[in-house]
Amino acid sequence: MPTCPLKLSSLSAMSDIKASQWDALAGDQPFLRHAFLNALELSGSVSRETGWEPCHACVWQGDQLVGALPMYRKHHSYGEYVFDWGWAEAFEKAGGDYYPKILSAIPFTPVPGVRTLLAKTLDAGAVRALLASAWQSLCEQQSLSSWHLLFADENDVAAWQAQFPELIAREGVQFQWRDAGFGDFDGFLASLTSKRRKMIKRERRLVAEQGLTLARLEGENISPEAMTHFYRCYSMTYLERGRSPYLNKEFFEQLRQTMPEALMLVQARLDGQPVASALYFRSEQTLYGRYWGSEVVADCLHFEACYYQGIEYCLQRGLTLFDPGTQGEHKLIRGFAPQRIRSLHYLAHPGLAAGVAQFCQQEGAHINAYREAAYKALPFK
């Protein structure tokens, strides 16, 4: 019986495809699941009005989904965490239009992982070539400046580079915690230098001395009231900077209803009442720290709610990796090691491509040197 040919289609909404079809390829990472991407769209957090126009690429063999790539037609560079504002400014000064562009990423979610969904039974190169034709056609037909693949894991990046060597790689670094057989939190502390062990003990003690207690709520135990309180705290972190939150309350409530098994909420309480919250996601082996906010000013509460509670949870539940989110050195001295991350970029204009390639090469040398220096600063004995 002859094999059905591969066909390419575009989705303007995740609701146009069955969750079972998408999730059969999506794997274990919660942010790539249909429920997460659909919640972004149904809530209006991702839409043409917010500058994120869904145009997901799908490859079919008959009625079976065999490949997919989340894609968005972007009208700005907000919510991406791989910053290309300088590229846009340079191109526009030269008379070009940088926006709109095409982005393959998880909106507002700088978490490394698979971005290209592929059926294991097919020729991955053939499926990827069809997915590539989706963004290539958009760039050509609509005169879009570029396509960007953000926070793809190393295997995904390597496969795209091997097939499309014109793609420009950009280096980055994040900090992640891994269980090295610590056993429990005391075992983790015992692996650290005396200076850092004392620092963490002091920080946790300070939280308790301020009358704060911490509680973890999981899955269906996260009530509508708890999520409402979390959202109030989350919003405050943006409003304090004079900005509106990227994500709205409806998005988080949608997640609470459709994928509760992937959620863990840390509440900080004072006199029995919640005053701060940190929302985590989990897969079978990994914990992801994502969103945080507090109604009170309290010493070291952020470290406790966003780092130490996460490490303790991993050790208690047998999770081996903890990705606490973006940014810095304050994670390094608490046992989070620097990890290489990469993004890929296609720039249609040859001059812009040449300039960006030179920039990324120079920037990459500094990033790699920084990552090597950061390894040497880890607080383990």
pLDDT tens string 257-283: 999 999 999 999 999 999 999 999 999
Q: Are residues 207 and 128 in the same domain?
A: no
Domain-embedded: residue 381: no
Please determine, for residue 50, whether its predicted confidence score (pLDDT) is greater than 50. Answer: yes
Give every CB contact of residue 220 below 8 A, 6+ residues apart in sequence: 260
> How far is residue 146 CA from its own chain's centroid?
21
Domain-embedded: residue 310: yes
Q: How far apart are CA 317 and CA 339, in angstroms?
A: 23
What pLDDT sits at residue 128?
97
Residue written as token pair 């993004």: 343
Please determine, for residue 1, whether its predicted confidence score (pLDDT) is greater than 70. Answer: no
Cβ contact 106:80 at 8 Å: no
Q: What is the mean pLDDT of the chain?
A: 96
Q: Are residues 169 and 304 in the same domain?
A: no
- The domain that holds 140 is classified in CATH as 3.40.630.30
What pLDDT sits at residue 327?
74
Please determine, for residue 59, whether its predicted confidence score (pLDDT) is greater than 70. Answer: yes
Indicate the pLDDT class of residue 2, thresholds 50, 70 and 90.
low
Phi, psi of 265 (to 5 degrees): -115, 125
Q: Who has greater pLDDT, 239 or 20?
A: 20
Phi, psi of 314 (to 5 degrees): -60, -45
Domain-embedded: residue 326: no
Q: How far apart are CA 283 and CA 172, in angstroms?
A: 23
Domain-embedded: residue 257: yes
Q: Are residues 167 and 184 in the same domain?
A: no
The boundaries of the domain holding residue 133 are 6-173+340-376
Cβ contact 112:344 at 8 Å: no
Domain-embedded: residue 34: yes
Q: Are residues 90 and 211 in the same domain?
A: no
Cβ contact 153:112 at 8 Å: yes
What value does the mean pLDDT take over residues 237-265?
94
How does DSSP classify residue 3? P
Q: How far apart are CA 252 and CA 230, in angstroms?
A: 9
Q: Are residues 199 and 128 in the same domain?
A: no
Please determine, for residue 155, whether its predicted confidence score (pLDDT) is greater than 90. Answer: yes
What value does the mean pLDDT take over residues 183-195?
98
Q: Which of 52-66, 78-92, 234-248 has the lowest mean pLDDT?
A: 234-248
What pLDDT sits at residue 3?
75
Q: Which two tokens stand for residue 304?
A: 């406790």
Q: Which two tokens stand for residue 2?
A: 């002859």
Q: Are residues 157 and 207 in the same domain?
A: no
Q: Are residues 354 and 233 in the same domain?
A: no
What pLDDT sits at residue 326?
78
Q: Are residues 225 and 143 in the same domain?
A: no
Domain count, the chain: 2
Q: Are residues 163 and 189 in the same domain?
A: no
Q: Which of 76, 91, 105, 73 is nearest to 170 (CA)?
A: 105
Please determine, for residue 299, whether its predicted confidence score (pLDDT) is greater than 70. Answer: yes
Q: Are residues 238 and 258 in the same domain?
A: yes
Cβ contact 82:112 at 8 Å: no
Q: Which of 35-39, 237-241, 255-259, 264-268 has the lowest mean pLDDT?
A: 237-241
Cβ contact 7:60 at 8 Å: yes
Cβ contact 31:109 at 8 Å: yes
Q: Are residues 13 and 98 in the same domain?
A: yes
How do residues 70-115 score in pLDDT, each as one tens digit? 999 999 999 999 999 999 999 999 999 999 999 999 999 999 999 9
What pLDDT sits at residue 150?
98
What value does the mean pLDDT take over residues 312-337?
93
> How far is residue 91 CA from its own chain's centroid?
27
Q: Which two tokens stand for residue 365?
A: 């040398």
Strand ranges (E), the chain? 6-11, 52-54, 56-61, 64-69, 72-74, 101-104, 117-118, 146-152, 168-178, 212-218, 263-270, 273-282, 286-294, 321-323, 337-347
User: Could you give the strand order of the β-sheet that contains 273-282, starting from the edge strand earlier in sequence?
Assistant: 52-54, 72-74, 101-104, 146-152, 337-347, 168-178, 321-323, 286-294, 273-282, 263-270, 212-218
Domain-embedded: residue 110: yes
Which amino acid, one-letter code, is at 373? A
Q: Which of 221, 235, 227 is nearest to 253 (CA)?
A: 227
pTM: predicted TM-score of the whole model, two decimal places: 0.96
Q: Are residues 140 and 266 in the same domain?
A: no
Give every CB contact of residue 2 below 8 A, 6+ residues apart in sequence: none
Indicate the pLDDT class of residue 372, thresholds 50, 70 and 90.
very high
What value does the mean pLDDT take over residues 21-34?
95
Helix (H) or strand (E) holding 139: helix 124-141
Q: Which of 134, 127, 128, 110 is nearest to 55 (CA)?
A: 134
Domain-embedded: residue 330: no
Domain-embedded: residue 335: no
